[in-house]
Amino acid sequence: MALMITDECINCDVCEPECPNGAITQGDEIYVIDPNLCTECVGHYDEPQCVSVCPVDCCILDPSHVESKEELQAKYEALQAQG
């Protein structure tokens, strides 16, 4: 699954620079995660970096973007091929 940021986000700015895919950006009110770029850090790290640094635990699995580890790995490889 891709991850999402809930409205509990306090805009602390720690997650955005930690995302190796550039999937996290500042939205209108809170940070948002682009599900097309989120691989849950598969291919980069053992665990999602946004989850590990978030002080309020607002980075959660997005139930509307269900993906297996294999699909996340394939997305990672496609993103790497794009440059």
Q: What is the pLDDT along the chain (83 residues), one digit of tens a residue?
A: 799 999 999 999 999 999 999 999 999 999 999 999 999 999 999 999 999 999 999 999 999 999 999 999 999 999 999 97
CB-neighbour burial class of residue 56 (10 A; exposed 0-12, middle 13-18, buried 19+)? exposed
- How far is CA 74 from its chain centroid? 15
pLDDT for the residue numbered 75:
96
Structural domain harbouring 47: 3-82
What's the pTM?
A: 0.93
* Other residues' Cβ atoms within 10 Å of the Cβ of residue 63: 9
Question: The domain that contains 53 carries what CATH number?
Answer: 3.30.70.20
How far is Cα 51 from Cα 62, in angstroms, rounded to an integer? 13
Count of domains for the chain: 1
pLDDT for the residue numbered 81:
95
pLDDT for the residue numbered 55:
97
pLDDT for the residue numbered 15:
98
How far is Cα 57 from Cα 8, in angstroms, rounded to an integer? 8
